[in-house]
Structure 1
Amino acid sequence: MNTTKSIGVFDSGYGGLTVFKSIAAKLPDYNYIYMGDNARSPYGDHSFETVYQYTLECVEWLFAQGCPLVILACNTASAKALRNIQQKVLPVKYPDYRVLGVIRPTAEVIGSFTESNTIGVMGTRGTVNSESYPIEIHHFYPELEVVQQSCPLWVPLIENNEHIHEGADYFVKKYTDELLAKSPAIDTILLACTHYPLLIPKIAAVVPEGFKLVAQGDIVADSLADYLTRHPEIESQLGKASEKKFYTSGDEQVFDKNASIFFDEKIVSARVNLKI
């Protein structure tokens, strides 16, 4: 048995690093390869077909690097590409490989956070328009009211490191106020984009006291730990040398500089040439 394989973690850019950070903290022994498709991000406003094509190309690249398991640490990719990859591609081309997303694990537990049975979901246009969260959440919690709000400027603000400045406060308050105006019963906000944890202090400043702000990193990490326990045929293939490798389709120096904002470690990446 080859036990030098890695867990692949994919995102359209930097946001998936917030999930990867939680995964690596929960499961520090495994080998990981992170791939950010920065040259073609953000994915939020792309069509379903474009996001599917981009995501599949990156997933297949991770397979080729020796990753039998890939986590789509990107809500847009999970919403627009995961189902087709799982149902149409893997059974035909990669029957021994697995691809998991971030939406289902979150939907499985989100009901435990709310007391009013009303949650807000804040995400990219692509994630919100897909209706993936209401659909998945209602599988597990049919009684919940799910209210959505797209936040198209949050990712660009974060990826340009403008979220730390006062100028971002207006847009944080704007989208948060628009969400809360849709239902006074909301007591929990799900941050359905892996970039958004970086905005938690600013969001917390504009919501009522006692509001729950739910990020996905720890949820996905716990779900992955459970998955590996239940699937020894995958787990037994994985190397355990605590290696972390980073790749980007964009400029390596720019990636390394910005990635540290999300991952809290110095990162040295290599460039992957994809079809642009």
Structure 2
Amino acid sequence: MAFTAVERPDQGEKAHGWASAGLRDQVIRYRGYRMAGARPARTTLPAGSVTLLLGWGTPLHMRHGPNNDEPPGQWPSLIAGLQTTPVLAGYPGPGHAIEVDFTPLGAYRCLGIPLHHLAETRVHPDHVMGTGWTERTTARLSAAQNWSERWAIVDSILINRCIEHPPPSPLMVEAWNLLRARDGSMPVSELVTATGRGRRRIQALFREHIGVPPQTLSRIFRFQHALAVPATEYRSMAELATMTGYYDQAHMNRDFRSLSGYTPGQLFNFTVQAAARNNSDNDKYMRDFFAH
């Protein structure tokens, strides 16, 4: 089970791991954190994934909304469905956490619930996994000697859950693959034609398996696609908008503001500044959903 770890004595440790072969279609990646002390809050952008966070120590402090204006919440552990607004989150003290990033279809199978229950919200894992599950699981994770042992524990748990629950509808898998292959640039009418199913059937499948309508998932895919285009490949924001499936630059500006709270120019300037500080982690986080 491959993984990488970067340790910074003053900050703690961050590890990246990948699920075993039997979970590759369900799990995008594992991430592990050891916080030596307070870590500054960072903004997480909508990325078309479902997250399971399991922590022990200081809970995650989180603000949500277009301007991070919702009241802050404290989450030792959580499950978060697909989001369409940014989240500002950080740890004000020492602790550990493991983050599992699922594809939506992977979350549908591993978690065993319709994903509209998780969309645009966060819940305690016990609400999905059963009473006491989180405490038992974090106790096992905290007792493990290293990240490889922790990945193996999570692997075993998720494989068993996948065995317990049925796979997603083949029709939904087809629709997901079509939309992802086009980076969201596929109207619902084309999905209907390509799959041979009616609009209502497609909408119902997305609500159950993804949690949001296909139009919303398309917005997230287009947004992430635009973030992933190297700056050397376009000469203007208008050209980038055309390249990535927006009607025009105004359409792209509206979506960027809605999904991130920033204009495209502001957001891209942020990544340039992060790179100049030799801090590629910010840039990578916004784009890494499409790196796997």
Same fold (TM over 0.5): no
TM bin (shorter chain):
under 0.3
Higher relative contact order (CA 8 A, sep 6+): 1
Higher strand proportion, which one?
2
What TM-score does the superposition give when structure 1 sets the normalisation length?
0.27
For normalisation by structure 2, the TM-score amounts to 0.26
